[in-house]
Chains A and B, each alone.
Chain A
Amino acid sequence: MSTTPALTRSQTVRRVKWRGGLVAWAFALPALVFYVWFLVAPAFQSLVFSFTDWDGLSPTYSLVGLKNYVLMLTDPIVHTAVRNNLVWTGVTITVPVIQGLLLAVLLNGHVYGKSLIRTIFYTPAVLPLVSVGSIWGWLYNPQYGAINEVLRAIGLGGLAQPWLGQDATALAAVIVPAIWLRTGFPMLLYLAALQGIPKELYEAATVDGANRWKQFWNITMPGLVQAHLIVVALSLIDSFKVFDLIYVMTYGGPGSTTQVIGTYMYANVFQYYRAGYGMALAVSITIVAIIVSIPYVRSQTRRDDR
């Protein structure tokens, strides 16, 4: 090698590098082909459809510019859906995160049957959402449902009502199962993160006379900053995807009381044959979801540069 001129060596390096890049792309290709074919390309096609008056069936359609988006602004059902999406997002993040944190802190101390309790709280999260919807639809049944039965049994029969069937309670009633199934995930993440906080910090604080409450705010919470960010980011991402539960339990009803963007989009595309309009709804919420989650995605990309 010592006789090889410098120029040729750099050429060789470049060639090796180029071949290495080719090999890397050969590894990357199968997954990327499917990813682009069935997710990226369709997403951009949806964007194109959102500028048309397509009904979803006819072979032809014409471009209508931003008409669908303008229409959304004055559609009262869109207003309801946006409000419901916001309520859904707010409640299904705060309540499960606080409950999950509380459970994790309690489970992190000395408790009997720790792993059994942990298992139970995460169980609803693995069930198909359709079955979760079916279970709760049954619990809410006005006549035979267990929830009204409980109310009657404890003498509050007057409060028994068709929870899913009336405007006043329908939204709250579809949110409760979401809380049921989403409490387990933050619990698991917080439990894992709590293991990372050194025990000595608590011992030192106890010696200094800090009580449990002070320890929680001055040691536990600062130690969980990373976990908080990830839990909130993932919950936020998840909350935009709401569809299955509402589709199964109320189909957006009664009227349009529990309509969210996902279900209203579905109704437009597959029921009202207003595919262009439905795609405009899908594109809008996707753009919001992407913008909101970019910090998380970048943190995942950057974190691994280290």
Chain B
Amino acid sequence: MSATSVEKRATRVVAARKKRAGVVAITVVLGIAAIAWLSPLALLLITALRPLSDYIANGALTWPKQFTIGNFAQAWDVGNFAATYRNSFIITIVKVPLGVLFASLLAYAIAKLRLPGRNIVMFSVFLGLTVPIYIAILPNFVMLRQLGLTDSLAGLVGPYLAFGISFEVLVLQSFFRGIPDEIIEAARVDGASAARIFFQIVLPLSTPALVTVAILDGVATWNEFLMALIILNSNNNKTIPVGLLNFQGQFANNTTSLAAGILIAVVPILLAYTFLQRWIVGGLTAGATKG
């Protein structure tokens, strides 16, 4: 081995080591930032697990001297979470499949069926993304009261469908557009009806997009606050966000139970996010990267 090649190798080793040091440094910086980002939630969890007396005596930043799950039991009962969980669950289960079905029908008409007036329909539907929903709440409230649907989950279905359609159609039509026309044409030549082509060919091919849209719509439905606040009055009919607001008022001075209540309210969403994040991230970035 000549002297120069040894030298070269030495510089390469030094460069590699330098590079690894850089990677470690960036990782450390990002790690600290990530911990800071997560600290409100971590603090919330620790607080929810300690007795109120311990929290008051030692402050929020200390490690608990004692652990308890009593806060969760108390929060669950007083916060009426059995009812609000059930309600949020029902509205999500009813609304999301309906919304995805209707939106995919419309998206397919836009993408593949040469809908007459297509551009106007698209423009009007996409405009719905930009409209603050509080423009629609009062007329909706008046209409639902006339129909006897206030203070009932059923009253939320119509508005929730309407609020979700713009986003669902935006994502789905762009996905449908990517399905080759030849597949649809071949089925049509074989005599398949439009409905049959849609349900037996297009929808199965679009499972990833449908799942993504369903998850994002599910998160939005679960989290919706304003419409539910206006429509739902009695405690047993409230959804999680409205129930949590109530609970927050009652427990202003019982910090540890308040923390437990907040956690109870967000756990389903956190679990869903953790397990389904591949779909969530894909759906959110799909629109931005094409173009």
**Which residues of A line the B interface, CB within 8 A?**
20-21, 23-25, 27-28, 30-32, 34-35, 37-43, 45-46, 49, 56, 103, 106-107, 109-113, 116-124, 126-131, 134-139, 141, 144-146, 149-150, 153, 180, 185, 188-189, 191-193, 195-196, 226-227, 230-231, 237, 240-241, 243-244, 247-248, 262, 265-266, 269-270, 275, 278-279, 282-283, 285-286, 289-290, 292-293, 296-298, 300-301, 303-304
The 9 tightest CB contacts between A and B, nearest first, are A38-B162, A42-B139, A24-B113, A192-B285, A293-B130, A31-B106, A27-B109, A42-B136, A45-B139
Q: Are B135 and A275 in contact (CB under 8 A)?
A: no
Within 8 A of A (CB), among B27-44: 27, 29-31, 33-34, 37-38, 40-41, 43-44
Write the nearest CB–CB distance from B42 to chain A, whole angstroms: 10
A24, A144, A241, A248 interface centre (most CB from chain B within 10 Å): A24
Give Cα A304 to B139, complex, Å: 34
Give Cα A25 to B60, complex, Å: 59
Within 8 A of A (CB), among B233-281: 240-242, 244-245, 248, 255, 258-259, 262, 265-266, 269-270, 272-274, 277, 280-281
Q: Are A270 and B230 in contact (CB under 8 A)?
A: yes
A38-B159, A39-B131, A128-B269 known, 17 other contacts, Cβ within 8 Å: A23-B113, A31-B106, A32-B106, A35-B166, A42-B138, A43-B131, A43-B135, A109-B23, A111-B23, A111-B26, A124-B37, A128-B244, A130-B244, A138-B44, A139-B40, A237-B129, A301-B126
Write the nearest CB–CB distance from B123 to chain A, whole angstroms: 5
Q: Which residues of A lie under 8 Å from residue B82 when comparing CB positions? A: none
Give Cα A126 to B48, complex, Å: 21
Q: Which residues of B lie under 8 Å from residue A30 when comparing CB positions? A: 101-102, 105-106
Interface size range of chain B in the complex: 35 or more
**Does B85 reach chain A (CB closer than 8 Å)?**
no
Helix, strand, loop or mixed for chain A's interface?
Answer: helix
Contacts A24-B109, A248-B245, A300-B170 hold; do A121 and B37 have CB atoms under 8 A apart? yes
